[in-house]
Chain A
Amino acid sequence: MTGLDDPILPSSIAWGLLIAFSILWVVLGWWLGRHNKTAEDHMLAGRNVGLALATATAMATWVTANTTMTAPQLALQLGVWGMLGYSLGALGLILFAPLARRIRELMPRGFTSGDFIRLRFGTFTWRVFLVVSLIYAFGWLVSMAMAGGVLINALAGIDYRVGMTVILTVCVIYTLLGGLRAVIGTDFIQTIIIIAGAAFIAWLTIDKVGFEAIHFNLMEERPELLSLLFPAAIMFLFNNLLFGVGEIFHSNVWWSRAFAFGRNVGFRAYLLGGLLWLPIPIVAGFIALATPALGINVPAADMVGPLVAAEVLGLTGAIVVFIVVFAALASSLDSLLAATSDLVTRDIYRGHIRPQASEQNQFRATKVIVVLLGLLTWLAASYRGSLPIIGSLAELLYFTGAFVASAIWPIVAGLYWRRANPQGAAWSMILGSGIGLASYFLIGFYVAALVGAAVSLAVMVLSTWLAPRPFDWDRLSRDAAAEEVRSA
């Protein structure tokens, strides 16, 4: 990832936008979270979020810098199937809709995905799940921080580390001040900005370049990008589908929202959010297909989106892309910081270090953990070149694919399958992740999730078939309520 020789946005404008939006998010975060008094207020926004805010936060969180920057990258590398495959990530949100309803029914007073795994499957499986979940969360955090630095460097020539530091710091501050209420409130505005901006760039690209010119030039220079039988791309499509499902099913980002949304809101919010998210990678990714028609030389694949927008729209395009990606970064970084700090607070601090921690202890701990997470992310994103696994954004993102896909079946079985075997759930994650990772290195990034999910499914089904363990669903709400009383 290298910067451009000639930045397309004057650094004075970039700094102006950075400062203006940073102040907006921080002030809004503080204002929205000013009445938070307990860990529950901070972590779950009062447990009664309505449909509009719920739908927007589901969409905004799922539209990451990876969507706005990796979708064009994948369109450039894998063609039509690249952008269509990425849009299938929406199925994760859509399929999570019934799970969100089930989660809320089974654990009306739950806090984290870790709470569920511990009460449903026991300590061993819970610890395996925490490893999987935290590796993924950290990989996602680092990939977004990297995207922030790359974007600012590509557009305005501001040093990668300076831009990344600014974005990360702003998100840490407003998440710290307002908790989930700040995250969800800012997500609403960020969703409007992201989608309106992406649609604006797409319409102007269509108008300026035209489909005939795009298609003709692709046929001349990169015909494989138009092929419907591009094997790696088709493999990627299924891999991405499973990756998206795995990310959403296991991650506390989505579970904490299931706990925070009002009664009967979760199902509708995830369903609507998924349907409205579906076209976004196509809108964001399609502009990369215009590079041959525009004669753009792309120095690094993950910079293609900003490059095309700036080429087509000049200064306006550079400004719009800058604002859109800043909003996309913030909307996901804040969600992940909040949800991961909740997971660490509840499942590591309270679960392993201080079991008797009171509600107020947890309230304070979650704030300290947000800052620590921000620092760790900054360190990893600062020294990305020194870490062998961290290459391009897409490579980093899909490295975590084996982990998340291996968690799909334990979650589904845990929620719906009364006789699911707890040890089987742990081993399905261990073997799914291990063999999925081996396939990442031996075959390619586009098969890690596919293999991880297949192995995990086989282990889950086989273990439960050989040694079923009946479970009483009422235990979940009963045990969660009893734990809450103890820590009050």
Chain B
Amino acid sequence: MMISSTALSVIVVVATLVATLTPILLLALFIRDWKKGCLW
């Protein structure tokens, strides 16, 4: 039983999309913590 090209592409594209958005989310959290004075 082989994985299809479509299934492979869906898995990889979704993973890459999440990875692309992660740095933005972390920076947003950093700014929020900084403004609230709770970085450390």
- Interface of B, helix, strand, loop or mixed by DSSP: helix
Known A203-B16, A276-B18; contact A50-B2, beta-carbon cutoff 8 A: no
Q: How far is the CA of A198 from the CA of B5 in the complex (A)?
A: 22
Encode A275-318 as 1/0 by CB contact (under 8 A) with B.
01011101100100100000000000000000000000000000
Known A192-B26, A211-B8, A226-B2; contact A52-B32, beta-carbon cutoff 8 A: yes
Please tell me if the beta carbons of B39 and A50 are within 8 angstroms of each other in the complex.
yes
Q: How far is the CA of A106 from the CA of B1 in the complex (A)?
A: 48
How many of A's residues come within 8 Å of B, CB to CB? 45
Interface residues of A in 225-263 (CB under 8 A from B): 226-229, 262
Please tell me if the beta carbons of A195 and B23 are within 8 angstroms of each other in the complex.
yes
Please tell me if the beta carbons of A223 and B2 are within 8 angstroms of each other in the complex.
yes
Known A279-B18, A280-B19, A282-B11; contact A55-B26, beta-carbon cutoff 8 A: yes
Q: How far is the CA of A206 from the CA of B10 in the complex (A)?
A: 12
Contacts of A219 in B (CB 8 A): 2
A172 in the interface (beta carbon within 8 A): no
Please tell me if the beta carbons of B15 and A56 are within 8 angstroms of each other in the complex.
no
Please tell me if the beta carbons of B18 and A46 are within 8 angstroms of each other in the complex.
no
A181 in the interface (beta carbon within 8 A): yes
Known A51-B33, A53-B39, A53-B40; contact A229-B26, beta-carbon cutoff 8 A: no
Please tell me if the beta carbons of B27 and A192 are within 8 angstroms of each other in the complex.
yes
Please tell me if the beta carbons of A206 and B2 are within 8 angstroms of each other in the complex.
no
Nearest CB of chain A from residue B19's CB, rounded to whole Å: 4
Known A55-B29, A226-B3; contact A48-B12, beta-carbon cutoff 8 A: no
Q: How far is the CA of A140 from the CA of B11 in the complex (A)?
A: 29
Encode B19-40 as 1/0 by CB contact (under 8 A) with A.
1101101110110110000111
A155 in the interface (beta carbon within 8 A): no
Please tell me if the beta carbons of A227 and B39 are within 8 angstroms of each other in the complex.
no
Contacts of A455 in B (CB 8 A): none
Q: How far is the CA of A202 from the CA of B9 in the complex (A)?
A: 12
Contacts of A55 in B (CB 8 A): 26, 29
A199 in the interface (beta carbon within 8 A): yes
Please tell me if the beta carbons of A282 and B15 are within 8 angstroms of each other in the complex.
yes
Please tell me if the beta carbons of B15 and A49 are within 8 angstroms of each other in the complex.
no
A212 in the interface (beta carbon within 8 A): yes
Known A53-B40, A55-B26, A228-B1; contact A206-B15, beta-carbon cutoff 8 A: no
Contact of B15 among A226, A262, A279 (CB under 8 A): A279
Contact of B40 among A46, A87, A198, A278 (CB under 8 A): A46
Please tell me if the beta carbons of A227 and B1 are within 8 angstroms of each other in the complex.
yes
Contacts of B5 in A (CB 8 A): 211-212, 214-216
Q: How far is the CA of A283 from the CA of B17 in the complex (A)?
A: 9
Contacts of B25 in A (CB 8 A): 276
The 5 closest A-B pairs by CB, nearest first: A279-B15, A52-B29, A215-B5, A282-B15, A52-B30
List, sorted by A's number, 7 A–B pairs whose CB atoms are closer than 8 Å. Answer: A52-B33, A196-B20, A198-B19, A199-B19, A202-B19, A212-B5, A215-B4
- Identify 10 new A-B residue pairs, CB closer than 8 A, beyond the known A211-B5, A211-B8, A227-B3: A46-B40, A48-B40, A191-B23, A199-B19, A202-B15, A206-B13, A214-B8, A226-B3, A279-B16, A280-B19
